[in-house]
Amino acid sequence: MTIGSAAVVGDALFDVVNPATGRVWAQAPDCGRDLLDEAVAAAEGAWPGWRADPEARGAALTAGAAAVREAADDLAPVLTGEQGKPLREARAEVLHAAARLEHAAGLRAEPVVITDTPEETVEVRRRPLGPVAAIAPWNFPVQLAAAKIAPALAAGNTVVLKPSPYTPLSTLLLGRVLARALPPGVLNVVSGRDPLGAWLAAHPGIRKVNFTGSVATGKHVAASAAADLKRLTLELGGNDAAIVLPDADVETVADRLFWSAFANCGQICMAVKRVYAPAERYEEVVEALAVRAARTVVAAGTDPAAQLGPVANRPQFGRVAELVSDALAHGARAAAGGRALDRAGYFFAPTVLAGVSDGVRIVDEEQFGPALPVIAYADVDEAVDRANHTRYGLCGSVWGTDLDRAEAVAERLECGTVWINRHLQMSFDEPFAGTKWSGLGVSGGPWGVHSHTEPFVLHRPRT
Ligand code: TXE
């Protein structure tokens, strides 16, 4: 663990499994309550100095970004080893994290003058909150760690970062790399098995929790935060619908649609999780996706030919297999895949399911894996209703040739981001927020900085 600026390893360790083999390949420190208290105390101690000087913060974040970029070749194999993704994607994830830190270095919570008269000025300024708990999942451990620590630190908070117990190692290494650039105690990384996450979220020294994970755990975090009125950002799951319109040029958009669902083995909160296709074009859409699924190279992330690695961990692998079996038992047809691959590790054949509809678990629930249901619809109004008929509301997309028509449909989707003829694209400058059960609070760009600060209003007479 990195507490203060020192690497700390307690007595207890836990196993980390390589999903490409299904075997233990490393161990990580299992943080207990005492070490957690130390980490929070380090964050509290570092806060006054860190909040005092925005220019020094910007410089430290820029240096941190450079250090992460330089360490990409060390970080990427660790990420692939514990998460499974192809090595070049692991490297891209590290570089993305570095770019996020660099971008945040330039962000400031600028004051806003709301009254400026001969008698007085009234100005809204923003203050940081204090030590922030950043709790990350296993699908993009490095990228999501950076997405949490960057706005928190830029706004003048300090951080205690906890990775998922499935992917602790790349985050621990990230912490050590960043410790070269950040003052002691500003970023502290604690790894461990749960209930470490619950202890951290409830810790009295923590003033805000920024959590990414499942809806169920997000609700626990919200309940424990309520007891102390901690501030919250929750980025929870999604069940993003892609609506293919009758005028879509399927062959032109098929590659993009396919990878919007299957990138990172479908383990992306804002991946396409269900496709709605017009009945008269249904077989064409299924076929275009199935062809691409069948030719995708699934292999260990260390294999340069790999386009997809294994599912990231045993429970998730089991969940994907269960949802696919359930769909097949309810009359779905596997147009591609439909089963685990017969080899060690958590490899699952990219799966396209046809003849499936709402009411089947893989359509109604978040599968978070390499299996995609395609659902036929009779008219566009029905497709929009079905897309919106969910507790989730993260993102969505509309695919068609007439862009005005596509936009009119896009406006009706109840979610935080909607794309036309694409999915998954997001810049550092835009607000990322889920509606309904997909989240609470807003991240990204100035919104991310605002959500790590609170306003205070200063009334100042002219004389
Ligand atoms: O998530 P958890 P899991 C979804 C996806 C997946 C499911 C379960 O559908 O199948 O969640 O994944 C920490 N208080 N997503 O079990 O449990 C935990 O240690 C505070 C969507 O991995 O939500 C880890 O660091 N923290 C998602 C983090 O929470 C707690 C990405 C997430 O774990 C805690 C991942 C508690 N009580 C999974 N219990 C997305 N939105 O992208 C656990 N944790």
Question: Tell me: the pLDDT tens digits for 190-206?
Answer: 999 999 999 999 999 99
226 and 244 both lie in a single domain? no
Task: Give yes or no for residue 168 CB within 6 A of ligand 1.
Answer: no
CA atoms within 13 A on the CB side of 410: 20
Task: Give yes or no for residue 220 CB within 6 A of ligand 1.
Answer: yes
260 and 392 both lie in a single domain? yes
Q: What percent of the chain has pLDDT over 90?
A: 97
Could you tell me the pLDDT band of residue 49, with boundaries at 50, 70 and 90? very high
88 and 104 both lie in a single domain? yes
Task: Give yes or no for residue 192 CB within 6 A of ligand 1.
Answer: no
Whole-number pLDDT of residue 312: 98
**Known catalytic membership, residue 365:** no
Task: Give yes or no for residue 434 CB within 6 A of ligand 1.
Answer: no
How many domains, the chain? 2
**Known catalytic membership, residue 415:** no
Write out the E strands in 157-238.
Answer: 158-162, 187-189, 208-212, 231-235
188 and 45 both lie in a single domain? yes
Residue closest via CA to ligand 1's atom 8 equals 214
192 and 220 both lie in a single domain? yes
Whole-number pLDDT of residue 10: 66
217 and 310 both lie in a single domain? no
Whole-number pLDDT of residue 370: 98
Q: What percent of the chain has pLDDT over 70?
A: 98
> Is residue 427, in this structure, part of any structural domain at all?
no
**Would residue 180 be called left, alpha or beta, if left means φ above 0 and alpha means ψ between -120 and 50 degrees?**
alpha
Cα dihedral angle (202, 206, 211, 215), rounded to 10 degrees?
30
- Residues 170, 176, 178, 184, CA torsion sign: positive
* Candidates 82, 93, 235, 366; catalytic one: 235
> Is residue 342, in this structure, part of any structural domain at all?
yes
Q: Is the pLDDT of residue 255 over 90?
A: yes
> Is residue 429, in this structure, part of any structural domain at all?
no
97 and 187 both lie in a single domain? yes
231 and 248 both lie in a single domain? no
> Is residue 332, in this structure, part of any structural domain at all?
yes
Could you tell me the pLDDT band of residue 1, with boundaries at 50, 70 and 90? confident
> Is residue 188, in this structure, part of any structural domain at all?
yes
CATH number of residue 68's parent domain: 3.40.605.10
CA max distance for the chain: 80
Model-wide pTM > 0.75: yes
Mean of pLDDT values over 172-201: 97
Provide the residue range defining the domain that includes 405.
Answer: 240-420
Task: Give yes or no for residue 235 CB within 6 A of ligand 1.
Answer: yes
Locate the ligand 1 atom nearest the alpha carbon of residue 365 and give its number: 9
> Is residue 291, in this structure, part of any structural domain at all?
yes
* Candidates 269, 366, 395, 415; catalytic one: 269
Could you tell me the pLDDT band of residue 4, with boundaries at 50, 70 and 90? confident
171 and 124 both lie in a single domain? yes
Q: Is the pLDDT of residue 9 over 70?
A: no
- Residue 103 CA to ligand 1 center (angstroms) comes to 27
